[in-house]
Amino acid sequence: MGSNHITTKDGVEIFYKDWGKGQPIVFSHGWPLSSDDWDAQMNFFLAQGYRVIAHDRRGHGRSTQTDDGNDMDHYAADLAALTEALDLHDAIHVGHSTGGGEVVHYVAQYGMKRTAKIVLISAVPPVMVKSRNNPDGTPIEVFDEFRKALLANRAQFYLDIPTGPFYGFNRPGAKVSQGTIWNWWRQGMMGGSKAHYDCIKAFSETDFTDDLKKIDKPALIMHGDDDQVVPYKDSGVRSAEMLKNATLKIYPEYPHGALTTHAEVINADLLEFIRK
C-alpha cells in the first residue's frame, strides 16, 4: 500500500506507511521525530515477511502541524483511529521513548482486543518527572530547559540533542555518525514547533501506571543502562514490574537511540520475542 493519510475526528491528518503483508507490526516513534526513525526496523521486518506500519504522530513529520491535542489522550486516540482504519488484528505494537507511552496508553484504553504483544524501547513509562510519588524521577527543571531551548533556537537545540545524549555520541570513544545526527535534525525540523513544545509535557508528566497495570499482553522491555534521556531504573525496570507479563532486557552501555546505533541487536531480539 505504500503510504497514505487518515483523518481523525478532530480533522487532523495522520501520515502513515503501510508495507507488506502478514502479521502487522506497528511502530510508534519518539519525540520530536517521525516514522522515518524506524527505517532499520521497517526494512528488516518487511524482509522477514511481516506487515510493517509506522505513522507520524500529530504535529510531527508529515502529519498536520496542529496547535492543539498534543497530549497522550489524543496520541492514543489517533493510533486507535489508524488501527481501526487499517482493520489491524493480532498486532505487535512497538514504541520508542515517547512512542512507548503512546503504545501503553493506546493498548490500555483502546487496543487490548486488537493487540498480540507490546514492545517498549527506551520508553518513558511509568512517569518521567520527579514528584513526591516518584522521587527518583527527572526534575521538572530539566524539561523546563528543554522548553526554553526549543523556543530560543529550535534548530540549534535539535543539533545538540543527537550530537550529545541521544545516541551517546558524547561518550569517550563513541563512533559518531554525522548522517545519523543530520537525519535526527531533519526529522525534528519537519514537525511543528508548537506540537513539539506541548509534547514535552506529554512525555514527561503523563503517568502511565494505571495503563501498565491493565495490560496483560506479553511485553518486552528493552533499555540501555547508559540511556541519558530516559534513565532505565526509573522507567524500564519499573514498567516491567507493573506489567503482568513482561520480559526485561537491559543492554550494557546502550544509549537512548539504540534502535539506530545497535539496530542489528535490537532487531534480532525483537524478532525472537515476536516469534515466541
Is position 227 annotated as part of the catalytic site?
yes
Name the phi and psi angles at 26, rounded to 5: -110, 125
Q: How far is CA 228 from the centre of its chain?
A: 16
Helices 72-85 and 98-106, interaxial angle, to 10°?
Answer: 60
Residue among 28, 97, 204, 239 flagged as catalytic: 97
Is position 97 annotated as part of the catalytic site?
yes
Question: How far is it, in rounded angstroms, from Cα 174 to Cα 106?
Answer: 36
Residue among 96, 196, 223, 256 flagged as catalytic: 256
Residue among 227, 234, 239, 269 flagged as catalytic: 227
Query: Is 163:172 a contact under the CB 8 Å cutoff?
Result: no
Residues in the chain: 276
Residues carrying an active site annotation = 97, 227, 256
